[in-house]
Amino acid sequence: MINRQNWLDVQKFLSYQLEIKQIAGRSANAQWSRLRHLLEWANELAFTDIMQKRPTFPAYVETLVTEQGTPFSASHLVAMFKTTRAFFLWARQEYPIRYKHVELNWIQSLRPSRGRSEASVLLERKLYTLEDVLQLVAVPAETTARRRMRAAVAFLFLSGMRIGAFCTLPLKCVNLATSQVIQAPEMGVRTKNSKAAKTYLLNIPELTAVVKEWDREIRAVLPPDGYWYAHLDEFGQLTTRRPRSNREEARHDFRDDLVDLCGRAGIPYLSPHKLRHGFAVYGLKRAKTVAQMKAISQNLMHSNMGITDGIYGKLIDDDVRDIITGLG
């Protein structure tokens, strides 16, 4: 049985994250799913007396499997331990007397073992390349929904936007004449951590033409506050009627339509976020100056270039092969 005080402390931490740190609801839900494992591991034992529990939390977590019966990925473990460390650091500050026996060294020990760390995994970078996207937009689009999907794929590769921001992007935030996209929460765009920025589209004529074609089609029907990834009625046609949902349905529709498009193009399906990866790798491989790399980082709405380099800086396999084999 889960310790009631442990559960209350976790709920207080999540409220702190939402109200003080102002993280997104989706992020809070992800943190709750990770901390549930901590609650289940502790069982009836209070967190304040947890240091001597065996097996240790890292050892316990590494025995867990997903619904598909596979071990948790290295990246999932890293996220889980990061959230757990954040919880205990917060608890020591929020309840210094109750948590005084939870030592900092113990908190810092909450990490994957070396054999399950990200460094121990041979990672394969998955992304949509320009060639993939050109193949996707070349698929015939006989319906409004398919034209929307084709344009969306081109737009996401050109912009590097996150799918949540894209699905809530109104027409008034897109200016194709200047290649500018305004990602501003005050204009209804749901960005990560509520950041605001003016971002821009890559200049790839074949993709720009697809984007412009869809832009002309929707502007002839929709008002400026209509969504660029337009809402369709029950007959699959453009409509000025605003959707009742919070656009979560649009995210699910997007994934379903992308699966369909990839199937028709003969390309393995990857998540919509891999279009953002494609933008980043395409740009970084062509950047020759620090200013160009910084521009890519800012367009991704990263706080600094270090974040961009940490995520995308590792060369893809083909680059390593070409460089090493060319050193003879």
Sequence ranges of the chain with CATH classification 1.10.443.10: 130-278
Q: Look at residue 300 in the predicted model and tell me its pLDDT.
A: 94
CATH class of 4-120: mainly alpha
The pLDDT of residue 316: 59
pLDDT digits (tens, 9 = 90+) for 147-168: 999 999 999 999 999 999 999 9
Task: Cite the residue boundaries of each domain of the chain with CATH code 1.10.150.
Answer: 4-120
Instruction: Give the model's pLDDT for residue 118.
Output: 67
Q: What pLDDT is stored for residue 246 in this prediction?
A: 63
**Coil, strand or helix: which one is 170?**
strand
Phi, psi of 198 (to 5 degrees): -95, 120
pLDDT in the model for residue 74: 87
pLDDT of residue 181: 97
Examine residue 55 and say whether the peptide bond preceding it is cis (omega within 30 degrees of 0): yes
Beta-sheet strand order (sheet of 174-175): 174-175, 180-183, 197-200
Per-residue pLDDT at 250: 75
The helix/strand/coil state of 181 is: strand
The confidence score (pLDDT) of residue 25 equals: 84
Residue spans of the chain under pLDDT 70: 118, 120-124, 243-248, 314-318, 328
Residues 156, 226: Cα–Cα separation, whole Å: 18
**Domain spanning 130-278: CATH superfamily:** Intergrase catalytic core (1.10.443.10)
User: Nearest-CA neighbor of 233 among 139, 172, 141, 143?
Assistant: 143
Gap between the Cα atoms of 216 and 174, Å rounded: 12
| pLDDT tens digits, 180-214 | 999 999 999 999 888 999 999 999 999 999 999 99
